[in-house]
Every structure is written in C-alpha cells, then in structure tokens.
Amino acid sequence: MENIAVIGAGYVGLVTGACFADLGNKVCCLDIDAERIHNLKQGVLPIYEPGLAEMVERHVQAGRLRFSTDYEDALERADFAFIAVGTPEGVDGEADLQYVRQAATSIAKAMKAPLVIVNKSTVPVGTGDWVANIVRENQPEAIDFSVVSCPEFLREGSALQDFMNPHRTVLGSLEADAADRVAQLHLPLRAPIMVTDLRTAEMIKYASNAFLATRISFINEIANICEDLGADIKEVAVGMGYDPRIGPAFLDAGIGYGGSCFPKDVKALAHMASVQGKHPQLLRSVMDINADARLKVLARLRETLGEDLNGKVIGLLGLAFKPNTDDMRDAPSIDIAATLMQSGAEVRAYDPVAIPNAQRLMPEIHYADDPYVLAAGCDALVVVTEWNEFKQLDLERVLAAMRGNVVIDGRNIYSTRELQARGFVHRGIGRGYDASAETAR
C-alpha cells in the first residue's frame, strides 16, 4: 500500500484517485474548488462516468479515499503526487499550463518529505523539465523529489475499464529509480510498461490522440466521396477493417469528434510544430475536415426540408460529444444548434445525462424529458450522439408524434432501408440511398 495525493478532482484526477484506491492504496484527492470538494464529501460527483460514483462511495467508506482543499494535508504522508489538473486550449491553440504551474508551485511549498511528482495531465513536450524547475525554485528548503511523466489514455464512458485494463502504461523520467517506483504502482494492472525519457513520453500521448483523430477525419473524407459515387461507407469501413494493418477501430463515419482531448490535443500538437518552424499540413487538414463534418447536418436538412429552415422544428437526439458521458466540451451539438438557430429553426433536444451541462451552454433551446416528447411536432430529428437508447426507439411511435418524417442520422445508427420502409426520409453520412423512393411530408 502506498500513500498517494492526486492534485485535481476533475475527470482524470477523480478516476485516477478512485482506481488507485481500488488497488489498495490510500488516496487523497485535492482540488482548490471548495464547492467541488464539499460536494464530493457528500457523495456528489462533478462528472458522469459509469461506475465511478459507486467506486468512490465504496472507497470513501473503506477509508482508502478522501478529499481535501489543503496541500499540506494532502501531502502530509504522500509518497506520490499525481498532477491531474486541466490544460485548456490557449489563444493560439497551445495548451494553457497555468493550473499545472499552480499545482507545481503549491506542491513545492507544502512538501515536507521526498516525493515523486507524476504528471498525469496532458502537457506539451518539455513540461516535465519545466515542472521540475518550478518545484526547485519554490521550495522553502531543498527536499529531494523526482518528476515522472505518466500520460493518461482514458476514454470517457469507459474510463474505469481503461484504467484497470490498460493496453500499456507509459512512463517517462530521467531517473530510473523514480520510474521504477511508479511502475510498481501499476504492476497489479498486468499491462506492458514502457519506460522512456520525459519528452518522449509526453509526445506519445499527443501522437496517439492525433493519430486517432486522423482516422476519424480520414473515414469522414472517404464518406464524402462515397456519397457522390453511391457507395456505402459502413460497408467500406467493414471491408477496410478486416485488413490487420488497418483494423476496425475509429472508422465510424459521422459528424466528427469532440470532447476534451482530440480537438485540444491536435491543435496543441500543431502549435508545437509551428513554433519549431514545421508545417503540420496533415494535422491542419484533420481539423478542417472535422469542422466541415458538423456542417453536413445543415446540408442534409436543406436537402430534405428545403433551403429555407425558418420556422422548422428540429429535434436533436443527443447532446454530449459521445455516449456514456455528460461532457459537452467541443460537442458537435453546440455548433449544430447554433447554426440551426441562425437559420431561423426552432431547436429542441434530449440527452439521457448531458442536459444540465447543455442548459448552461445553450439556455435558449427547448429540452425534452424523453425522445418521444422530443419528437412531438418536429419536422426532422437529428441523431447527434449514438446512445444505445436511440437504437431501441419505437420508430412507429416516433413517426406518429412528428409533424414531418425526416431523420438525419449523424452517427449512422439506423438502416436506411428499414427507416424508408417505415415511412421516414432517412439521410445518413456516406450512405447510398434512393432519393426517388422517399417523400418528405
């Protein structure tokens, strides 16, 4: 058993703290947001993540997990301090490191014994050295410490599974002993552990996310071509995925990626390249294609409802950037709703968990309590998030409630043939369809 302090009780920090407690360690999660810590002590979590609330409650009751706003309290017995604070997008796309600086400075002033400081936040290449300098400069007295980079690879909606069953653990450090101590923390996970230098570990995180974002933009580019040539992108993706050199993951065409990682990390990597005098053409194209993917919804609606959307009632099925999360950061729904309202449409929406967060960002749209209430009086429905709930809808009930019969399937969760047979006008992304067989009402 180790004593661990986790700085930052947001998405990464809370998952990291709860999972390390689940492995038998004693963990203190610290956050400078007093309201957040108060809520956590009351069992109220700041995020939705399947299984996390139950895990947090279990280990709080067992005495393995606690919460604090005081650095000296959190670090009093700590052997490790994980920095898991936010690194939001800066003005030019760079990662904003103000919270990392605050955390490193506060750790330096509060530590009373040797400590291994672990960067869990997604940070630009070179940040590990920068953190070490900040700690050294702000220590009241010299105390030994080490800095290790341990980037996270958690997917929202399956974060507990990803932490407890990782594909790999990446560690970066200039000190072999420190890297070995962090490796020991991860040994119970029984996954490959790669130890490298600080800067290489930091780059592995950015390169991994940029590559996955590239796959998404690539398949959306192919989907655009499929539409003009009459091919079906879902079948194309399946055929591609059988090739072991390609694989099936991240080949789902749709309205693009969102969330807290891909958009921010691709921009940050492009910014780092530009600062070094490089021209990151591929990364810029990935971002451009992703931005264009969100505009497909408007084009499909005008194709089916007519160029003038003024007064049309459009219902959004889903708001979060992906299923099994309430995260609205850079969600496609935000851009889609804004574009529709600018066109004069009335926008309604439903999401199983993201409505409270969406209301703070988009108070002007109407929110429904369930998909059938949403459908009532709508001219068209737009699938924005591929929640399983939407795949199991009673489509006859949906059609009966609607004023129109158009479904714009931004995530390709429905069969065009099935929806046409039920009387819908269905438009997916990159799908072959027979427009002459459909009539919008």
CB atoms within 10 A of CB 86: 18
Quote the CA–CA distance of 261 and 249 in Å, as a whole number: 17
348 neighbors 340 (Cβ within 8 angstroms) = no
CB atoms within 10 A of CB 196: 16
Residue 433: its pLDDT value, please? 62
Residue 4: its pLDDT value, please? 98
213 neighbors 290 (Cβ within 8 angstroms) = yes
Residue 441: its pLDDT value, please? 73
Domain coordinates in residue numbering, the chain:
3-196, 197-441
Q: Of the residues 29, 226, 261, 378, which is catalytic?
A: 261
Quote the CA–CA distance of 119 and 100 in Å, as a whole number: 9
Retrieve residue 362's tokens: 């988009």
What is the number of alpha carbons within 13 Å of residue 98 lying toward its C-beta?
4
**Residue 150, phi-psi category: left (phi > 0), alpha (psi -120 to 50), beta (remainder):** beta
The answer to whether domain 3-196 and domain 197-441 are alike in fold is: yes
The question of whether 378 is a catalytic residue gets the answer no
132 neighbors 123 (Cβ within 8 angstroms) = no
Cα 216 to chain centroid distance, Å, stands at 14
Residue 350: its pLDDT value, please? 98
Residue carrying the six token digits 């935000």: 334
Dihedral pair phi/psi, residue 122, rounded to 5°: -80, 115
Residue 439: its pLDDT value, please? 67
Retrieve residue 255's tokens: 């309205």
Retrieve residue 251's tokens: 């080949």
Q: What is the mean pLDDT of each run of 10 residues along the chain (441 residues)?
A: 96 97 98 97 96 98 98 96 94 90 98 97 94 97 97 96 97 95 97 97 97 98 93 96 97 95 95 95 97 93 96 98 96 97 97 97 97 98 97 97 97 94 95 65 73
For the entire predicted model, the pTM comes to: 0.93
92 neighbors 275 (Cβ within 8 angstroms) = no
3-196 sits in which CATH class? alpha beta
197-441 sits in which CATH class? alpha beta
